[in-house]
Each structure stands twice: as C-alpha cells, then as structure tokens.
A and B are shown apart, each in its own frame.
Chain A
Amino acid sequence: MKVTLRVWRQKDSQSAGQFEEYDADGLNPNMSFLEMLDVVNETLTEKGDEPIAFAHDCREGICGTCSCMIDGKPHGPESGVTTCQTYMRSFKDGDVITVEPFRGSAFPVQRDLITDRDAFEKIMQAGGFITARAGSCQDANALPIAKDVADLAMDAASCVGCGACVAACKNSSAMLFVSAKAGQLNLLPQGQPEKDSRVLNMVAAMDEAGFGNCTNQYECSAACPKLISEEFISKLNRDYLVASVKGLFESKAL
C-alpha cells in the first residue's frame, strides 16, 4: 500500500515550521504508524536528508511518549489507542495523511513532531503524590479498600500522561490530566490527609503553566487513548470547591 504524508517540519522551538510532503510506498497494512515513519526516515537518511523527529519509546501504548496529531486527531483515527498502537490497516491505499505535533498553549514544539510537555511535571510536583516516606508504612493489608473504589482509582491511574487531552481541547485545557491524577489519589483512603491541598496546588500549578480553561466540551475524553472518563473532571471540580470553601472557613486546630 501507498500513502502520501504531509508532515509538520520545524527545526526547533525558535524557528517557524511548515508542512512537507513525502510518499510512503510498499507499506504493509500490519505495520504500525510509527513503523511506517521508520521506513520513511530510513529513506530520507539514505538520501542525505534529515529524518522526521518524532517522540516514541515503548511502542506498546503505555509510556505516553508518542504523540502525533494524525489528520487533526490526537493519536489518529481509532479510539482508545496511542499513536504507536495505530496500524496502517486503519488507512486506505492512496490516502493523504496529515501529521502534526500535539500543540497547546503550554506545549511548545521542540522539533518536527516533538512537543515539550514539561508543564505536566510542574503540576505533578505541586501535588500529584501521597507523602509516604520509605520505611514508614504500615502493613498493606491493614487498610482494606473496597474493590470498586480500588478499581475506580485504577481507571484514573491508567492515564499515560501523553497530553492528547490537551491537544484535543480547543482551549488547551489540562483538566482531564489533572483530574485523573488527583482523582486516583483522592479516591483512596491513603490520599485523604492531603486531599484538599492536592487539588488546590495542582490546579494552581495548572493555571500557572498556561493551560486554558475547561468549557465542558469533553473532546479530551474522546481523544484519550485510555478513555479516561470526563466524570473525573466533575469530581475534580467538586473536590476543588470543597477545598476552597474549607479554606475560607479554616481555623487553627486548638
């Protein structure tokens, strides 16, 4: 099979970028989208051109590194998969495929299809944790957790941190990411002591990093390779409200 690629090429974050066209021929429908890019890159290298830079690592949908906007959709046409789990059988012979990096106000492009997602780190550092010093913990079974609660926390925890939610949102909001991260920990009993400070700090860090506001369109959930539910956003909003109100009435424990 054969396709034509329109690929975003940009030297670095300072330079302007533009689309370039490449033909990719002799493809096998069982190739992954990234294996198709590998083939294109081998040809470019052999010709003495610079290969297309794209982010990838595990190639099995778990590390969250790969991040291509394919025909305007984060991670391409199929639902519930990452770019590396997108296969050429999802395209037709002769297709023209547009490939861009994930973009967003807090996501500068570093080169070609690679985006800087460091803003996510800042959010995690602000509150995406439970404080538990090594060596200080009780027996794991001392705190039973109902299976449905644990399962729901696991649903939130399956976020791979790829940023598709941000790329899909017209406002570049990171609410789905933050709500998944905070939601996992806020659901668990271990996460209760820091619940309020967690949401307040993570949301503050999110705003500071330059992400936009959520206007409840939920393009994020639809684009999420792990199909994380927008209900976590509602939960985050509730947790945030409670924490803010509590903050207003805060009095020192005597």
Chain B
Amino acid sequence: MILDSKIPSGPLEKKWDKHIMDGKLVNPANKRKYEVIVVGTGLAGASAASSLAELGYTVKAFTFHDSPRRAHSISAQGGINASKNYQNDGDSVYRLFYDTVKGGDFRSREANVYRLAQVSSNIIDQCTALGVPFAREYGGLLANRSFGGAQVSRTFYARGQTGQQLLLGAYSGLSRQIGLGNVQSFPNNEMLELVVIDGHARGIITRNVITGAIERHSAHSVVLATGGYGNVFYLSTNALNCNVTAAWRAHRKGAVFANPCYTQIHPTCIPVSGDYQSKLTLMSESLRNDGRIWAPLKQGDKRPPNQIPEDERDYYLERKYPSFGNLAPRDISSRAAKEACDDGRGVGETGLGVYLDFKDAIARLGEDTIRERYGNLFDIYHEITGESAYQQPMRIYPAVHYTMGGLWVDYNLMSSIPGCFVLGEANYSDHGANRLGASALMQGLADGYFVLPYTLPHYLADVPRDPAPPTDHLEFVKAEEDVVERTNKLLDNNGKQTVKSFHKRLGKIMWDKCGMARNKAGLEEAIKQIPELREEFHADVRVPGTVKDLNQSLEIAGRVADFFELGELMCRDALAREESCGGHFREEYQSEEGEATRNDAEYAHVSAWEWKGKDQPPEHHKEPLEYESVKLATRSYK
C-alpha cells in the first residue's frame, strides 16, 4: 500500500488556495443526487453535515446519542484557538502554525497544520454569527486568554463551557438543516460496520440502541467524525460512551490507522479517589493562566498545603521552564508531575497528586475576578472533592485526555479507503505527537466547516451520478451478517465476568505499560497480556439481555471488544517507535535532564498500520514527514 498524502505542490502559504482551484466541483444541480452519510455529530460531524446540506448534498447524520447535541465535544471547557491577533501581541497564521507544529514535537504534516491555522479565523467569525456567546470585554469586543505552548493570547472562550457553546452553535445549524429536510437525522443509531463496495466506502450498518433494530444505509460517501479512543484506558476525561468502534470497523475494512500510540495525558485532572471511580474530571488548562503548580520540596511531607512555607515548595514548572512556566505544554507538564510523585513528593491520600494554587492570583486580582474567570471549574472541583479551591490549592494529577492518533487521512481528509473521509479527533492529521490546548475544537470545526466542503466534491465529481448502491447488495448482506453474528456471540456467551471488569483490567495494562512512560520490556509484556485477556473476555464475558431491547451492556461489550484489538495495536506502535516525542515517552530515550529525545533521522514519519486479519500481525507502513518550512529543532520551553 502506498500512502499518498496528496499534499499540493508550491509554497506553504499557497498550497490550500492552489488545491481549491485545482479541485473538481460538482454542478449545483447535481449535488442533491449525491448522498453522504455523516457518522458523529460532535463539532466535526455537526459542522460537516450542516455545511454539506447547505451546499445541496443529501445528508444523513448518525449518532448513538439521543441528540446530536450530546456529543462529547460538549465537555470541552477551556477554549478554541484562532490566529486573529485581536490582542496585537504578535500572533499570525504562521505563528499559530509554528506553535502547533512545535507543540506536536515535529511529528505532524506541515501543509495540514498550515491550512488549519489559515482557516482558524473563519471559525471564530462563523461561530459568532451563529450566536455563540463568547466572552467579551467591556467594550464589547471578544476576549482572549492564553493556553499552554503559546506566548500569545489567542484562545477564545465562553466561560468554562466553550465546547458546549460551540457544539450548540454547530448543532443549531444542523437542526435547521434537519428541519428543512436537507439532513435526515438518525439519533440513537450506532454504526457497527462500514460497507465497502468495489473498494469504495458506500454505506454502514447500524443498530438502533432503543429498539435494537439493525439496519443498512447506503450512500456515495461515508464521513466518520466519531471522536477519540481515550477510553481504551478505562479511566479518562472522556465521556463514558466515547469509543473506537466506528474507526476500528473501518480499520478492519482497510483504513490504515496512524500513530495509535500518541496519547495525550492531561496534567490537570482531579486525582482518582477510589476503586468505584468511573471517570476522571478535567480541570481546564486555562487554570494555569493564574494557578501555580507545585509539590512539596521534602519527600513525604504530609502537612496541609497552607502550612508548607514558600521556601519548602517546589514550583517545578517555573523552575524547569522559566520562559513558559506554568504554561508549558501538556506532555511536559504531565511528566513533570509524575516525576515529582515518583520522587515521593506527591500529595493527597494516594500520593498521586500535586497542587495547583490560586493563592497569589487571589491576592493579586481578588476572589471576584478569579470567580468570574473560573467559577464553574471551582464549583465542579468542590462538588467532586468537597474542598474549596478559594481556600486551599486544588489537588491535580495527569489523566488520559485526548488521542492524537487516529485513522490515517490524506490532505483531503480521505482515509485509505476511497470515499471514506475522517474528521475531528477520529483522524490523526494535525497534532503530531502532542496536541496543544484549544486546538482540538479548532481542528474539528476546521475539518467540518472549511475543509471537507472543498475536498469531498473533488471525490464525488468522479463518482457516477447513479443512485447509491441498493442495500440488498452482497456487501451489505455480508456486513449485516457479521454484525448479527458478533452481537449474538456476545449475548449467548453465558460467561461469568462483567464487561466492566474486563474493561478495567485492559485499562490497567494500558495505563501501566502504554501510559505516561513506556519501555520495551513493558510493551512486550502488554502485547502478550492483551491477547490473553481478550481470549478470556470472549470466553467468559457475561452480557445480559437481548439484542431487541435497549441493552447498555451489549453496547459496551461491543466497544470493549474493539478496544482490545486497538490496545494491542497501540502497544505495537509504541514499541516500534524507538524514540521519545510528545505524548510518547520511551524511558530508554531521554536526555540526562529527563527530557524526551527525538530521533529525527529514523522516526520523522507517520506510523500507519494496516489490518491483515484477526490472527495476523498488522503491516507497518511509514509516511515520511518532509519539512519544507520549519527547521526541526529540539523543543525548548526553557
């Protein structure tokens, strides 16, 4: 398989314009003859579905949620980046591009990232026009805040609910198109298989999670905007129903999976409190604008934080990275927290925590200002821990948050299956080995509003204008049979152990061996353990209920089954990448100071894995990353 990135020729700044001009168009009168399935209605899916419908295509939008508005994008707190330079602080398209490439530890495609930075401004215009109530200054203009990995203030936000407001904006546009009859909406429908006919993606098989009905849907193209796979770790900041199934099913049908091992561990989450814990709650990175992170200098210091004097506190980020300080990127901040805890200086009952302290900011700005900026986050913290962060520092610890890896796509966002496009967190495209804060929302909306509407027509223009394939086509029949067989097998298994118990065990292997720090021996062990656990799962899992009813156990069982296969691939990828970069930290490859050591000579590539069958190892492909504009450098935030 040859992975052709289809990056346009010419200077970086001109590539996208040139690509648009070179792309084929679909005649306005013909657009409605093309049917497009969009799976997922988060920022990426909702913006894509509504934009394609506005253009005149016939769109069907699927989500397993009961409403498009419930997609996980709704939970994003902190903000969305754009190179507006409204603050006059030296921002530009190039700077946003550069920060993002550098933040990603030089493991992303230049051309994609540049395009992202180019369209970022339009996103803010678009969302404002839709009525997104971004934070404003007293003069009525839009406000900004800073996020990690940048020295300019380019992050737009809506209190601590930016994702919610952006999604509600995109959802309102989608709702309008549904009301007009341009989009047919399929809530409560989970995609369980991709249908590929003559090498092209032409449909999906779904299960209605309320009625249990299994259905076939055909189209001229399938767009997957199904989010990230952080829940492979069991505990993460993701919503509980986030999963990899749509992407994984496409992978098994030929879509290559890129950089699966690049996982983002977010530095500021509320620490685990007990075995019953079902998820981890993020405390937005925006808090690092005013909060200072520290751990006690002395090991095993059990004094309450307010009794530890200044000179016995280690503000380790400020110490190690004086120019970025508390706004060092996430991968670096997370590892620094782990180091402090590994060193016996962690706080809280478990010793797995550090402090995020607002004392100085409250003294400087007053409690009211802090309340206005972060009130809802402080409230969430209080609800969960029963502690007030106005009076004592928050306790935080890193947690799995985002997956940079995903289905491989070319510059057009098309996967290695023609006709199957992948947007948002589900693709791997723009964040390299580490995503900067406030860039995922930007990417999801860029993909849906401003990239796919230009690149999808180029593909469709060559697809005959015949109706979409009939759903009694053999490939549909086979795909549906697969789904039914898989489902029945889970239900008829009559084992003893619950799905959740298996998911927890898988998560523990992943966290221990493929989490914040990885090494060869651990990864090799995980690659042995995971298939064993998977066998045990298929032999002994108990899934109660029937296929015909609303059956949450069945839904989760299918997702966990796919997580097993993905988890193994992540470990393989982590093992194959013998360097440290961004969120992928191999203990063997670090500097004396414990910083990640990249190996550009051998690993400046995208790792892309091709499914070769159930009992075969996947085939490893490499897409070289060529840097024309940026000079590869050691990332420094000192």
Which residues of A are in contact with B by a Cβ distance under 8 Å?
Answer: 11-12, 28, 30-32, 34-36, 38-39, 42, 45-46, 48-51, 53, 55-65, 81, 85, 87, 89, 110-111, 114, 116-118, 120-121, 124-126, 128-141, 143-147, 150-151, 153-154, 157-158, 160-161, 184-185, 188, 190-191
On whether the beta carbons of B549 and A111 are closer than 8 Å, the reply is yes
Q: A184 touching B131 by the CB < 8 A rule?
A: yes
Q: Can you list 29 A-B pairs with a CB-CB distance of less than 8 A?
A: A12-B550, A30-B386, A35-B278, A38-B276, A45-B553, A46-B542, A50-B544, A59-B240, A64-B74, A111-B550, A118-B67, A121-B175, A121-B185, A124-B171, A125-B179, A126-B179, A132-B130, A134-B50, A136-B129, A137-B122, A138-B129, A140-B142, A141-B86, A141-B142, A144-B141, A153-B133, A154-B159, A158-B164, A190-B130
Residues on B with C-beta less than 8 A from A129 are 130-131, 172-173, 175-176
Residues of B contacting A137 with CB < 8 Å?
A: 122, 125-126, 128-129
A235 to chain B, nearest CB (A): 16
Cβ 8 A contact of A28, one of B65, B75, B274: B274
- By the criterion CB–CB under 8 Å, are A130 and B67 in contact? no
Query: Which residue in B277, B386, B500 is a CB contact (below 8 Å) of A89?
Result: B386
Which residues of B in the span 375-399 have a Cβ within 8 Å of any Cβ on A?
380, 383-386
- Contact yes or no, B274 A147, CB < 8 A: no
Q: Is B241 an interface residue (CB 8 A)?
A: yes
> Is B161 an interface position by the 8 A CB rule?
yes
Contact B67 A161 (CB under 8 A): yes
Q: Nearest A residue to B282 by beta-carbon distance?
A: A60
A19–B363 Cα distance when bound, in Å, is: 53
The 7 closest A-B pairs by CB, nearest first: A144-B140, A125-B179, A132-B129, A129-B172, A137-B129, A140-B128, A154-B133
Bound complex: CA A72 to CA B500 (Å): 30
Q: How far is the CB of A6 from chain B (nearest CB, A)?
A: 21
Are B278 and A42 closer than 8 Å at their CB atoms?
A: no
Given contacts A141-B86, A144-B141, contact A128 B125 (CB under 8 A): no
Provide the bound-state CA to CA distance between A130 and B127, in Å: 10
CB-based contact B66/A65 at 8 Å: yes
Residues of A within 8 A of B74 (CB): 58, 62-64
Q: How far is the CB of A55 from chain B (nearest CB, A)?
A: 7
Report B-chain residues with C-beta under 8 Å of the C-beta of A150.
133-136, 140
Given the known A-B contacts A28-B274, A62-B164, A63-B74, are A117 and B66 also in contact in the complex, defined by CB atoms under 8 Å?
A: yes
A141 surroundings in chain B (CB, below 8 A)? 84, 86, 141-142
| Interface flag for B239 (CB, 8 Å) | yes
A39 vs B549: C-alpha distance in the bound complex, in angstroms?
Answer: 22
Secondary structure type dominating chain A contacts: loop
Is B450 interfacial (CB 8 A cutoff)?
yes
Please name all residues of chain A whose beta carbon is closer than 8 Å to the beta carbon of B178 when the two chains form the complex.
Answer: 121, 125
B:268-291 near A, CB below 8 Å: 273-274, 276-279, 281
Q: Please indicate the chain A residues that have their CB under 8 angstroms from the CB of B542 in the complex.
A: 45-46, 48
Task: Say yes or no: B276 contacts A60, CB within 8 Å.
Answer: no
| Known contacts A120-B67, A133-B54, A134-B453, A145 near B276 by CB under 8 Å | no
Contact A135–B66 (Cβ < 8 Å): no
Q: Is the CB of B450 within 8 A of A134?
A: yes
B168 and A157 contact, CB distance less than 8 A? yes
Roughly how many angstroms separate A2 CA and B129 CA in the complex, as a whole number?
52
A28–B272 Cα distance when bound, in Å, is 14
Tell yes or no: B210 within 8 A of A by CB: yes
Using a CB-CB cutoff of 8 Å, which residues 134-190 of chain B contact chain A? Answer: 134-142, 158-159, 161, 163-165, 168, 171-173, 175-176, 178-179, 185, 187
Known: A49-B544, A57-B240, A190-B129. A87 touches B172 (CB 8 A): no
B residues at A contact (CB < 8 Å): 47, 50-51, 54, 65-67, 69-70, 72, 74-75, 84, 86, 122, 124-131, 133-142, 158-159, 161, 163-165, 168, 171-173, 175-176, 178-179, 185, 187, 210, 239-241, 273-274, 276-279, 281, 380, 383-386, 449-450, 453, 496, 498, 500-501, 542, 544-545, 549-550, 552-553
Please name 16 further chain A to chain B contacts, defined as beta carbons within 8 Å, in addition to the given A61-B380, A63-B74, sorted by A numbering.
A30-B274, A34-B278, A45-B542, A56-B240, A62-B161, A63-B72, A85-B383, A117-B67, A118-B67, A126-B179, A134-B47, A137-B126, A140-B129, A147-B138, A151-B136, A154-B135
User: Which residue of the partner chain B has the closest CB to A157?
Assistant: B133
In-complex Cβ contact of B187 among A38, A48, A121, A191 (8 A): A121
Residues from chain A with a CB closer than 8 A to the CB of B161 are 62, 158
B190 nearest CB across to chain A (Å): 13
Taking a contact as CB atoms under 8 Å apart, the answer to whether A190 and B75 are in contact is no
Task: Kindly name the residue among B50, B137, B163, B240 whose own CB sees the greatest number of chain A CB atoms within 10 A.
Answer: B240
Task: Look across to chain B and name the residue whose beta carbon is closest to the beta carbon of A130.
Answer: B131
The closest CB in chain B to the CB of A115 belongs to B66
Contacts of B126 in A (CB 8 A): 132, 134-135, 137
Residue among A81, A150, A151 with the highest chain B CB neighbour number at 10 A: A150
A110 contacts across to B, CB distance below 8 A:
210, 550
Which residue, of B124, B164, B187, has the highest number of chain A Cβ atoms within 10 A?
A: B164
Give the shortest distance, in Å, between B74 (CB) and chain A (any CB).
Answer: 5
B151 CB to closest chain A CB (Å) equals: 22
Residues of B within 8 A of A132 (CB): 126, 129-130, 173
Whether B164 lies near A134 (C-beta < 8 A) is no
A154: B residues at CB distance < 8 A: 133, 135, 158-159, 165
> Does B500 lie within 8 Å of A134, measured CB to CB?
no
Write the nearest CB–CB distance from A44 to chain B, whole angstroms.
8
Which has the most chain A C-beta neighbours within 10 Å: B128, B137, B164, B449? B128
Residue of B nearest to A42 (CB): B498
Give A95 to B137 CA distance when docked, in angstroms.
48
How many angstroms from the CA of A131 to the CA of B86 in the assembled complex? 26
* Given A39-B276, A145-B136, A147-B137: A64 touches B69 (CB 8 Å cut-off): yes
